[in-house]
Amino acid sequence: MSGELSPIDKAKFVAAKRAAEFVESGMRVGLGTGSTAAWLVRCLGERVREEGLRFRGVPTSARTADLAREVGIEVISLDEARWLDLTIDGADEFDANLSLIKGGGGALLQEKIVATASDQMVVIADAAKEVETLGAFPLPVEVIPFGWPTSQALVEETLVSMDVMGRSATLRMNGERPYVTDEGNHILDLHLGRIGNPRQLAMVLNQIPGVVENGLFIDICDQVVIGYSDGRVETRDINEGTVSEERLDFVEDNNLFRDI
């Protein structure tokens, strides 16, 4: 079955498979949102079924919660957990400092809250997500629906004084209607091309009226697990300054791959 996966899905799978090994029984674990995080949830579900792993998961979106329950993971809210041992999530981009752009899946607000309520955050990604400078991927900014065109205008005006290449913002759509987050908000995607100072931009954006949160994750990620299509997995720890590499074998599993 694994032979039917595309190279990019193989890379996502091995990264998720390796990161799933970080979870131990008794932990409270944040579960990210997106295609790579979905692989993680499936891998953890396999460990629940095959190894008897018992932990409580705090999902960062309704769709992650649905998938987690489907594969047998106990789901609780962040209010119930209060604090987490670990959060594992994907990223749309990451750089050498493990600064991230997240929010392509529309769950950046819950993802950032959960990640910052954790002892550690581990990012899982395929190698294509690594960039020298953040910004090629559109930066999501969550805004309240009331007066969103005004918020958009204020954001674009603010970008004039920022170290970025592009300055346009577009409202994310879901068909003919604006995309709506789990919190009932909208998302502006900022087409910046390059972000020269992510820390400054993150702070400035959150001062704009109507902006709830932005998709720049600065000083939040502790480790990144990078998957490659040939089964190699590289793990970088920003705190320890270590890099390790190993190779995982693809094992056919009809349950794990049934939705692919």
> What is the CATH number assigned to the segment(s) 2-129+219-247?
3.40.50.1360
Question: What's the pTM?
Answer: 0.93
- Extents of the domains making up the chain: 2-129+219-247, 139-213
- As annotated, the binding site includes 33-36, 89-92, 102-105, 129
pLDDT 10s digits, 58-101 = 999 999 999 999 999 999 999 999 999 999 999 999 999 999 99
Catalytic residue among 46, 111, 142, 213: 111
Same fold for the domain at 2-129+219-247 and the one at 139-213?
no
pLDDT 10s digits, 13-66 = 999 999 999 999 999 999 999 999 999 999 999 999 999 999 999 999 999 999
**What DSSP line would sit under the chain, residue for residue?**
-GGGS-HHHHHHHHHHHHHHTT--TT-EEEE--SHHHHHHHHHHHHHHHHH----EEEESSHHHHHHHHHTT-EE--HHHH-SBSEEEE--SEE-TT--EE--TTS-HHHHHHHHHTBS-EEEEEEGGGB-SSTTSSPEEEEE-STTHHHHHHHHHHHHTTSSBS--EEEE-EETTEE---TTS-EEEEEE-S-BS-HHHHHHHHTTSTTEEEESEE-S---EEEEE-TTSEEEEEETTTTEEEEEE------TTTTTT-
**What fold, for 139-213?**
Alpha-Beta Plaits (3.30.70)
In the residue annotation, 46 being an active-site residue is answered as no
Residue 212 has pLDDT above 70, yes or no: yes
- As annotated, the binding site for substrate includes 33-36, 89-92, 102-105, 129
pLDDT band for position 256 (50/70/90)?
low
